[in-house]
Amino acid sequence: MYMHEARFYTVEDEKTGDVRCNLCAHRCRIKDGRRGICGVRENRGGTLHSLVYGRLVSGNADPVEKKPLFHFHPGSLTWSIATVGCNFRCRHCQNFEISQSPARNHGAITGRETSPAAVVEAALATGCSSISYTYVEPTIFMEFALDCAELASKAGLENIFVSNGYTSEEASRAIAHFLGANNIDLKSFSDAFYRKICGARLQPVLDTIVLMKELGVWVEVTTLVIPGLNDSEAELADIAGFIAGVDRNIPWHVTRFHPTFELTDRPPTPAVTLRRARDAGLAAGLKYVYTGNLPGDDGENTFCPQCGSCLIERTGFISRQNGIREGACRNCGEKIAGAWDNAPSAPSPPFC
């Protein structure tokens, strides 16, 4: 089996060879011959190895809006990569075929071997302006992500994490040096939800959101709204209040749930629930709140928080910029938080 020595671990017991993985908030103590919760980091004789370094199961050019990132170079393409494995066990995971692959396939590790240089070359060849570490939790292939991100930065590419936010502080600080943006899932504001539905805890996710902002990474937050589990008015208000307390400029994506994997007893999220969630975000003082997985809804568009002008119209993953010029609303001059390309704006009048 292909192995690459891991970073972010310590030897706990030299006699037994136990190690402590410090990559994520689980901080697994791993015995010799065993793996951590993610299923892709294995202790061999007191040395922790990544089993997925360079073992990619996906490489695609995606619209950056798919991550979803709405305030980070909209309209651009991002080269999206993933390995197998995850440090969560979400019962509603839409990518469970790869995220839970080791657990479902007796520990087997799949994926084609590649190099950081090849990833960067693929991004450039497909006209992408960034590389996204996504589809599964990218923390679990951190060593490869770090090597790719360093090369990508030198090549003029941005780096994006699409994360569950369970990264340890030390690993967060290491990758943040290269990250332009991080979309972090805030799946609930209930620790009980995290434990029962995801096999994790809430507080480390909150800590990562705060830390990434402090480290200067552009952060957007996504909440998949699941009927009967995290869609109460009180919980949505709590999530919105927390995000606003960190930074009112953080975009919040409230997205529609569809039954999948082990959570098929819930219906798709009603549109009215997503609009109620958006209202809760705006009421909490957030400047940018978006409805997701609801094509054609006005909640996909970006509006100026000062004058209400429509600035960006979206349909699915397609964006059309009309009202932002040099990072500000062309109507009233209000600064619009994010990373904007200096492409000329389309002429008035607004189209949304």
* pLDDT by 10-residue block (mean), the chain, 352 residues: 89 96 98 98 98 98 97 97 98 97 95 97 98 98 98 98 98 98 98 98 98 98 98 98 98 98 97 98 98 93 97 89 91 97 47 58
Q: Which residues contact 125 (CB under 8 A, 6 or more apart)?
A: none
pLDDT at position 1: 53
Task: Name the token pair of 50.
Answer: 């990544």
- Provide the angle, in degrees to the nearest 10, between the axes of the packed helices 169-176 and 142-154: 20
Task: Name the token pair of 229.
Answer: 């589990």
CATH ID of 55-295, from 3.30.1370.60, 3.90.1150.10, 3.20.20.70, 1.25.40.10:
3.20.20.70
Please report, to the nearest 10 degrees, the dihedral formed by the alpha carbons of residues 136, 250, 333, 352 taken in order.
60
What stretch(es) of the chain map to CATH 3.20.20.70? 55-295
217 touches 176 (CB < 8 A): yes
109 touches 51 (CB < 8 A): yes
pLDDT at position 349: 45
Token match 């037994």: residue? 16
In the beta sheet, which residues pair with residue 185?
A: 222
pLDDT at position 318: 84
pLDDT at position 315: 87
C-alpha distances in Å from residue 283, one per residue of 238, 239, 278: 11, 12, 9
185 touches 222 (CB < 8 A): yes
φ/ψ (deg, to 5) at 30 = -120, 125
In the beta sheet, which residues pair with residue 79?
A: 61, 131
In the beta sheet, which residues pair with residue 335?
A: 328
pLDDT at position 296: 85
CA atoms of 290 and 226, how far apart (whole Å): 16
pLDDT at position 74: 95
